[in-house]
Amino acid sequence: MNRPLPSEAGTRPRAAPVRRLSSGQVARRTIRVGAVRRLLIVGAVVVTIGLVGSVAITAMQPTPAIPNAEVSDGSLVIKDPRFVGRAESGEQVIVTAESAVRQVGDANGPVTLKSPRLQADTATTATALEGVWNPLTQRLDMTGDVEFRLADGQVATSGTAVWKPEAGGSSSISMGDGVRIVRTDGDIIEGGSAIWSNDRATLVLDGGVTLQRTSGDTASATSARWDARRRVMTLSGSAQLVTGDVQAQSSAAVLDYPRQSITGTGSIQLSGGIGTVTAERYEYSLSTRRLRLTGRVRGTLDP
């Protein structure tokens, strides 16, 4: 007798056998998963950098609208401009003008100024008829009726001048085409050119220098060097002192303000007054106006 076969509906499916991975297969799978994770992280970073870079580049674009500005013949003309820089010392450098002109699209290019005014620090200012401001180097070139009012009260005028920042937070001033300096004591110094050191402690004049004292005495030379700390001026090259009708010529002379004296050295020749006298050295007192000659003094008296 044959037994009936169980129906397919009553058959219970068997569970699939569990596949166990070898240690090598587990290691390879771990490496693949780590690589995918790193790829996803790198992609996210690239997308983020792209978005930030896009924002940064957009922010650096020049402002399309500038107050009091108009475009004329390919140039941007700005009325009442104000440029602000900062020296290494931290102090602001402010340049203003009646008007400014620069090329369109060149935000960092040189700017031509009409009636520029420089505020270099808390007490030094400069004005001129025209100027060129370089926003990258923060250098200002000035021409025409240049006037500097320095922190120590001196007023210097010239035909041209250059102001520029220097290392260490200082700045230099050079003037040319005829320089005239009015000191706080009223003395007037004139020369062809003048250069101030970064700390304003030294002034070098060239191109023929003349010192006009308030007393009426004058001193002149080819060049001169002023030491602000010692308050001493050294005259070099054909130095000449004129006091009253007496002229004292020498190779060099030193004007010492604290001692109130002028000392001449080298090939001294004194003329005027009663005759001509030669010597090796002279010393003139600015207070008593007396002149003393020393060293192989020889003279010829007028009849």
pLDDT tens figures, 204-259: 999 999 999 998 999 999 999 999 899 999 999 999 999 888 899 999 999 999 99
Q: What percent of the chain has pLDDT over 70?
A: 73
If you average pLDDT over residues 106-111, what whole number do you get? 86
H or E element, residue 169? none
pLDDT at position 71 is 85
pLDDT at position 182 is 96
Cross-strand pairs, 163: 140, 173
pLDDT at position 303 is 59
Can you read off the two tokens belonging to residue 38?
A: 């790193």
Count of H-run helices and E-run strands, the chain: 1, 24
Tell me if residue 127 falls in helix, strand or coil: strand
Nearest to 264, CA basis, from 235, 223, 288: 235
If you average pLDDT over residues 124-139, what whole number do you get? 91
Q: Which residues contact 131 (CB under 8 A, 6 or more apart)?
A: 95, 97, 112, 113, 116, 140, 141, 142, 143
Is residue 80 a contact partner of residue 98, using CB atoms and an 8 Å limit?
yes
Can you read off the two tokens belonging to residue 233?
A: 């001026």
pLDDT at position 168 is 67
Going from the N-terminus, what domains does the chain have, and what CATH number goes with each? 228-303 (2.60.450.10)
